[in-house]
Each structure stands twice: as C-alpha cells, then as structure tokens.
Amino acid sequence: MKETLRLHPPVPVLVPRESMKAVTIEGYDIPVKTRIFVNVWAIGRDPELWEEAEAFVPERFLGSEVDYKGQDFELLPFGAGRRGCPGLAFGIANGDCISSDASQL
C-alpha cells in the first residue's frame, strides 16, 4: 500500500499554504504571505530520497518505519499535521478491503 501511495498519491499537489512570517529554509528566503505548494508526486519520485525512485518496489517498506500519516516527509500522500486529509482513515480502510478481496482471487 505504501509503495502505491508513494508513486501514485491521491492528490499530486497538496492544498497550498501561506507563510505567516518570513523564514529561510535550506537557504531559500520565503517572504511573509508567500503561497507555498507541496508537490507530493515529485517527492515520491525524488532519487535523493528513494533508491530506484521510478520503480515499483513494494518490498522497500518491509522493516521500514516510514509512515504515510504525515510524520515522515518523504511520504506525504495525505498531507501532514492538523491540515492533513480528513479522509485518511477511510481511504486506508478502503484500500485494505480491496487488498483483502483481491487476495481471495
């Protein structure tokens, strides 16, 4: 499930945010009131974060503690924090049902 969400997030770009104050992140100056977009699709395919980033390798998460609930910023299919997707639990439960039904075939 995590590998599918890494390569095919439900929404490729998260809802935009606006900076409340001027900050510097990784050497980039972000002025106050700047609209910020998080490209989850690109993060999931970043070769600096993922070995064989374009390949579908479900085993990559075996024994891994990377979580899709927004705690690990290399995997953000549902956003993060208090503005994360309210449908996260429903989406995961739905995926689990589909997976269990498919295993019966």
Binding site residues for heme, as ranges?
85
Residue 57: phi and psi, rounded to 5, are -130, 85
Buried b (16+ CB within 10 A) or exposed e, 69-99: bbeeeebbbbbbeeeebeebeebbeeeeeee
DSSP category for residue 20 = S
Give the residue ranges of the annotated binding site.
Answer: 85
